[in-house]
Structure 1
Amino acid sequence: MSDPKALIRHWMEITAMGPAEAWDERVSSDVVVRLPYAPPGVMPVMTGFDEARDTLGHHWGTKRSFDWVDVTIRATEDPELFVTIARSQVVMANGDPYANDYVMLTRVRDGQVIEHTEYFNPLPIVDLLAKR
Protein backbone atom coordinates (compact mmCIF):
# COMPACT_ATOMS: atom_id res chain seq x y z
CA MET A 1 0.00 0.00 0.00
CA SER A 2 1.78 3.12 -1.19
CA ASP A 3 -0.54 5.67 0.45
CA PRO A 4 0.52 5.96 4.12
CA LYS A 5 -2.85 7.35 5.21
CA ALA A 6 -4.69 4.44 3.59
CA LEU A 7 -2.26 2.05 5.30
CA ILE A 8 -2.95 3.67 8.68
CA ARG A 9 -6.71 3.45 8.12
CA HIS A 10 -6.32 -0.24 7.24
CA TRP A 11 -4.08 -0.71 10.31
CA MET A 12 -6.82 0.76 12.51
CA GLU A 13 -9.30 -1.80 11.19
CA ILE A 14 -7.01 -4.81 11.59
CA THR A 15 -5.91 -3.88 15.11
CA ALA A 16 -9.54 -3.47 16.18
CA MET A 17 -11.05 -6.66 14.72
CA GLY A 18 -8.47 -8.62 12.72
CA PRO A 19 -8.22 -10.91 10.88
CA ALA A 20 -4.71 -12.06 11.65
CA GLU A 21 -3.94 -12.66 7.96
CA ALA A 22 -4.50 -8.96 7.23
CA TRP A 23 -1.32 -8.18 9.16
CA ASP A 24 0.86 -9.96 6.60
CA GLU A 25 2.91 -7.51 4.50
CA ARG A 26 1.28 -4.51 6.24
CA VAL A 27 3.13 -4.73 9.54
CA SER A 28 6.89 -4.84 10.11
CA SER A 29 8.40 -7.92 11.73
CA ASP A 30 9.90 -5.67 14.41
CA VAL A 31 6.83 -3.44 14.96
CA VAL A 32 6.48 -1.78 18.36
CA VAL A 33 2.98 -1.09 19.71
CA ARG A 34 2.54 1.03 22.83
CA LEU A 35 -0.64 1.49 24.86
CA PRO A 36 0.48 3.88 27.63
CA TYR A 37 -2.96 3.97 29.29
CA ALA A 38 -3.71 0.26 29.02
CA PRO A 39 -5.74 -1.13 31.91
CA PRO A 40 -4.24 -3.77 34.21
CA GLY A 41 -3.89 -7.07 32.44
CA VAL A 42 -3.24 -5.51 29.02
CA MET A 43 0.36 -5.46 27.85
CA PRO A 44 1.39 -1.77 27.56
CA VAL A 45 4.27 -2.44 25.12
CA MET A 46 4.35 -5.13 22.46
CA THR A 47 7.52 -5.73 20.48
CA GLY A 48 7.56 -7.72 17.27
CA PHE A 49 4.92 -8.84 14.80
CA ASP A 50 3.84 -12.01 16.58
CA GLU A 51 3.61 -10.48 20.06
CA ALA A 52 1.62 -7.47 18.83
CA ARG A 53 -0.75 -9.50 16.62
CA ASP A 54 -1.32 -12.20 19.22
CA THR A 55 -1.83 -9.73 22.09
CA LEU A 56 -4.25 -7.51 20.17
CA GLY A 57 -5.88 -10.56 18.59
CA HIS A 58 -6.79 -11.85 22.04
CA HIS A 59 -9.29 -8.97 22.30
CA TRP A 60 -10.96 -9.43 18.89
CA GLY A 61 -13.37 -12.05 20.18
CA THR A 62 -14.61 -9.74 22.94
CA LYS A 63 -16.28 -7.44 20.38
CA ARG A 64 -19.29 -7.96 18.14
CA SER A 65 -18.51 -4.83 16.10
CA PHE A 66 -16.01 -1.97 16.11
CA ASP A 67 -16.45 1.21 14.07
CA TRP A 68 -13.99 4.06 13.83
CA VAL A 69 -15.73 7.43 13.45
CA ASP A 70 -14.57 11.02 13.01
CA VAL A 71 -11.16 9.81 11.84
CA THR A 72 -8.60 12.48 10.96
CA ILE A 73 -5.11 11.43 9.89
CA ARG A 74 -2.48 14.15 9.60
CA ALA A 75 1.07 14.08 8.32
CA THR A 76 3.82 15.60 10.45
CA GLU A 77 7.14 17.20 9.56
CA ASP A 78 8.63 13.72 9.86
CA PRO A 79 7.54 11.99 6.61
CA GLU A 80 7.16 8.63 8.38
CA LEU A 81 5.07 9.85 11.35
CA PHE A 82 1.32 10.46 11.31
CA VAL A 83 -1.09 11.66 13.99
CA THR A 84 -4.61 10.26 14.03
CA ILE A 85 -7.54 11.39 16.11
CA ALA A 86 -10.66 9.25 16.16
CA ARG A 87 -13.54 7.89 18.17
CA SER A 88 -14.74 4.34 18.47
CA GLN A 89 -18.25 2.96 18.62
CA VAL A 90 -18.20 -0.63 19.74
CA VAL A 91 -20.67 -3.34 20.60
CA MET A 92 -19.09 -5.88 22.90
CA ALA A 93 -19.77 -9.60 22.41
CA ASN A 94 -22.29 -9.51 25.29
CA GLY A 95 -24.17 -6.60 23.66
CA ASP A 96 -22.80 -3.83 25.92
CA PRO A 97 -21.94 -0.57 24.15
CA TYR A 98 -18.44 0.88 24.43
CA ALA A 99 -17.05 4.13 23.05
CA ASN A 100 -13.78 5.96 23.43
CA ASP A 101 -11.62 8.79 22.10
CA TYR A 102 -8.12 8.23 20.71
CA VAL A 103 -4.97 10.04 19.70
CA MET A 104 -2.56 7.79 17.83
CA LEU A 105 0.97 8.23 16.59
CA THR A 106 1.81 5.82 13.79
CA ARG A 107 5.12 5.47 11.99
CA VAL A 108 5.18 3.88 8.53
CA ARG A 109 8.13 2.90 6.38
CA ASP A 110 8.26 1.10 3.05
CA GLY A 111 4.52 0.36 3.09
CA GLN A 112 4.50 -1.14 6.59
CA VAL A 113 3.53 0.01 10.06
CA ILE A 114 6.71 -0.02 12.14
CA GLU A 115 5.56 1.77 15.30
CA HIS A 116 2.24 2.70 16.86
CA THR A 117 1.41 4.50 20.10
CA GLU A 118 -2.24 4.76 21.09
CA TYR A 119 -3.55 7.12 23.75
CA PHE A 120 -7.14 6.64 24.87
CA ASN A 121 -9.34 7.65 27.75
CA PRO A 122 -9.02 4.89 30.38
CA LEU A 123 -12.31 5.76 32.14
CA PRO A 124 -14.65 4.03 29.65
CA ILE A 125 -12.56 0.87 29.97
CA VAL A 126 -12.72 1.03 33.76
CA ASP A 127 -16.52 1.42 33.52
CA LEU A 128 -16.76 -1.51 31.10
CA LEU A 129 -14.63 -3.76 33.31
CA ALA A 130 -16.65 -2.79 36.41
CA LYS A 131 -19.79 -4.22 34.75
CA ARG A 132 -18.22 -7.68 34.49
Structure 2
Amino acid sequence: MSGTAREIVERLLRAGREVDIDTFVGLMAPEGYLEWPYRPPGVPARVEGRTAIRRHLTEAAEAFITIDDHRNVVIHESLDPEVVIVEYDAHGRVVRTGAPFEQTVIAVFRVRDGQVLSCRDYLNPLPLLEALAGAQGART
Protein backbone atom coordinates (compact mmCIF):
# COMPACT_ATOMS: atom_id res chain seq x y z
CA MET A 1 0.00 0.00 0.00
CA SER A 2 1.12 3.48 -0.60
CA GLY A 3 0.67 6.65 1.38
CA THR A 4 2.46 8.80 3.89
CA ALA A 5 3.54 7.35 7.21
CA ARG A 6 0.64 9.19 8.83
CA GLU A 7 -1.89 7.73 6.37
CA ILE A 8 -0.57 4.21 6.90
CA VAL A 9 -0.81 4.61 10.69
CA GLU A 10 -4.36 5.98 10.40
CA ARG A 11 -5.32 2.90 8.33
CA LEU A 12 -3.67 0.58 10.86
CA LEU A 13 -5.51 2.21 13.78
CA ARG A 14 -8.83 1.95 11.95
CA ALA A 15 -8.18 -1.72 11.09
CA GLY A 16 -7.33 -2.44 14.74
CA ARG A 17 -10.46 -0.76 16.05
CA GLU A 18 -12.64 -2.51 13.45
CA VAL A 19 -10.92 -5.86 14.13
CA ASP A 20 -10.01 -6.05 10.44
CA ILE A 21 -7.14 -8.47 10.94
CA ASP A 22 -6.42 -8.96 7.23
CA THR A 23 -5.97 -5.23 6.62
CA PHE A 24 -3.94 -4.81 9.82
CA VAL A 25 -1.56 -7.64 8.95
CA GLY A 26 -1.34 -6.43 5.34
CA LEU A 27 -0.12 -3.04 6.56
CA MET A 28 2.66 -4.66 8.59
CA ALA A 29 6.08 -5.29 7.04
CA PRO A 30 6.94 -9.02 6.87
CA GLU A 31 9.50 -8.50 9.64
CA GLY A 32 7.35 -5.94 11.47
CA TYR A 33 6.60 -6.16 15.16
CA LEU A 34 4.25 -4.98 17.88
CA GLU A 35 5.79 -4.24 21.26
CA TRP A 36 4.41 -3.39 24.72
CA PRO A 37 7.12 -2.01 27.04
CA TYR A 38 4.60 -1.61 29.90
CA ARG A 39 2.15 -4.47 30.12
CA PRO A 40 0.24 -6.56 32.61
CA PRO A 41 1.20 -10.18 33.24
CA GLY A 42 0.27 -12.50 30.40
CA VAL A 43 0.71 -9.91 27.64
CA PRO A 44 3.74 -10.67 25.46
CA ALA A 45 6.54 -8.11 25.33
CA ARG A 46 6.79 -8.42 21.56
CA VAL A 47 5.04 -10.14 18.67
CA GLU A 48 7.11 -10.29 15.50
CA GLY A 49 6.28 -11.24 11.92
CA ARG A 50 2.97 -11.36 10.08
CA THR A 51 2.09 -14.93 11.10
CA ALA A 52 2.64 -14.25 14.80
CA ILE A 53 0.84 -10.90 14.58
CA ARG A 54 -2.16 -12.54 12.87
CA ARG A 55 -2.29 -15.23 15.58
CA HIS A 56 -2.02 -12.63 18.36
CA LEU A 57 -4.75 -10.40 16.89
CA THR A 58 -7.06 -13.36 16.33
CA GLU A 59 -6.65 -14.43 19.95
CA ALA A 60 -7.05 -10.84 21.19
CA ALA A 61 -10.28 -10.44 19.16
CA GLU A 62 -11.76 -13.25 21.23
CA ALA A 63 -10.38 -11.89 24.51
CA PHE A 64 -12.14 -10.08 27.30
CA ILE A 65 -12.09 -6.47 26.01
CA THR A 66 -13.53 -4.89 22.87
CA ILE A 67 -12.61 -1.40 21.68
CA ASP A 68 -15.41 0.57 20.05
CA ASP A 69 -13.87 4.01 19.66
CA HIS A 70 -10.64 5.99 19.72
CA ARG A 71 -11.18 9.46 21.19
CA ASN A 72 -8.97 12.49 21.61
CA VAL A 73 -6.68 11.24 18.84
CA VAL A 74 -3.59 13.37 18.34
CA ILE A 75 -1.11 12.39 15.64
CA HIS A 76 2.40 13.80 15.79
CA GLU A 77 4.54 13.65 12.69
CA SER A 78 8.20 13.80 13.62
CA LEU A 79 11.29 15.19 11.94
CA ASP A 80 12.06 11.60 10.93
CA PRO A 81 9.57 10.95 8.08
CA GLU A 82 9.29 7.28 9.12
CA VAL A 83 8.20 8.00 12.70
CA VAL A 84 4.64 8.85 13.77
CA ILE A 85 3.52 9.18 17.39
CA VAL A 86 -0.15 8.79 18.26
CA GLU A 87 -1.96 9.63 21.50
CA TYR A 88 -5.53 8.48 22.05
CA ASP A 89 -8.09 7.20 24.51
CA ALA A 90 -9.52 3.77 23.67
CA HIS A 91 -13.13 3.26 24.76
CA GLY A 92 -14.90 -0.08 24.80
CA ARG A 93 -16.25 -2.69 27.16
CA VAL A 94 -15.30 -5.75 29.15
CA VAL A 95 -16.91 -8.65 27.28
CA ARG A 96 -17.82 -10.83 30.28
CA THR A 97 -19.37 -8.07 32.41
CA GLY A 98 -20.34 -5.38 29.89
CA ALA A 99 -18.53 -2.84 32.09
CA PRO A 100 -17.10 0.18 30.29
CA PHE A 101 -13.39 0.15 29.53
CA GLU A 102 -11.13 3.14 28.96
CA GLN A 103 -7.44 3.01 28.13
CA THR A 104 -4.99 5.83 27.43
CA VAL A 105 -2.39 4.96 24.81
CA ILE A 106 0.71 6.54 23.35
CA ALA A 107 2.09 4.56 20.42
CA VAL A 108 5.24 5.11 18.38
CA PHE A 109 5.20 3.78 14.82
CA ARG A 110 7.97 3.39 12.27
CA VAL A 111 6.72 3.18 8.68
CA ARG A 112 8.86 2.50 5.61
CA ASP A 113 7.78 1.97 2.01
CA GLY A 114 4.10 1.91 2.96
CA GLN A 115 4.47 -0.76 5.65
CA VAL A 116 4.65 -0.59 9.43
CA LEU A 117 8.02 -1.82 10.67
CA SER A 118 7.24 -1.33 14.32
CA CYS A 119 4.58 -0.24 16.75
CA ARG A 120 5.68 0.37 20.31
CA ASP A 121 2.49 0.65 22.35
CA TYR A 122 2.93 2.51 25.66
CA LEU A 123 -0.41 1.74 27.25
CA ASN A 124 -1.37 2.20 30.85
CA PRO A 125 -1.60 -1.38 32.25
CA LEU A 126 -3.77 -0.44 35.25
CA PRO A 127 -7.14 -0.37 33.39
CA LEU A 128 -6.33 -3.79 31.92
CA LEU A 129 -5.56 -5.19 35.36
CA GLU A 130 -8.78 -3.71 36.76
CA ALA A 131 -10.84 -5.13 33.88
CA LEU A 132 -9.25 -8.54 34.29
CA ALA A 133 -9.97 -8.53 38.03
CA GLY A 134 -13.59 -7.54 37.36
CA ALA A 135 -14.01 -10.24 34.71
CA GLN A 136 -12.56 -12.87 37.02
CA GLY A 137 -14.90 -11.73 39.80
CA ALA A 138 -17.86 -12.15 37.43
CA ARG A 139 -16.97 -15.83 36.98
CA THR A 140 -17.29 -16.65 40.66
> What is the number of equivalent residue pairs in this alignment?
132
1:30–1:114 Cα contact (<8 Å) kept: yes
3-state SS of paired residue (1:102): strand
Gaps of 5+ in 2: none
1:7–1:26 Cα contact (<8 Å) kept: yes
Match for 1:82 among 70, 81, 84? Answer: 84
Larger mean CA deviation between 16-25 and 82-91 belongs to 16-25
Match for 1:107 among 103, 110, 115? Answer: 110
| Distance in structure 1 (CA, Å) of the matches to 2:74 and 2:46 | 24
Deviation (angstroms), 1:74: 1.0
The normalised TM-score by structure 2 is 0.85
Q: Aligned Cα RMSD in Å?
A: 1.7
Query: Partner amino acid for 1:4?
Result: A
Q: Which residue of 2 aligns with 1:14?
A: 15
Larger mean CA deviation between 21-30 and 85-94 belongs to 21-30
% identical equivalent positions: 23
The normalised TM-score by structure 1 is 0.89
Q: Which residue of 2 aligns with 1:44?
A: 45
Tell me which structure has the larger Cα radius of gyration.
2
Query: Partner amino acid for 1:79?
Result: P
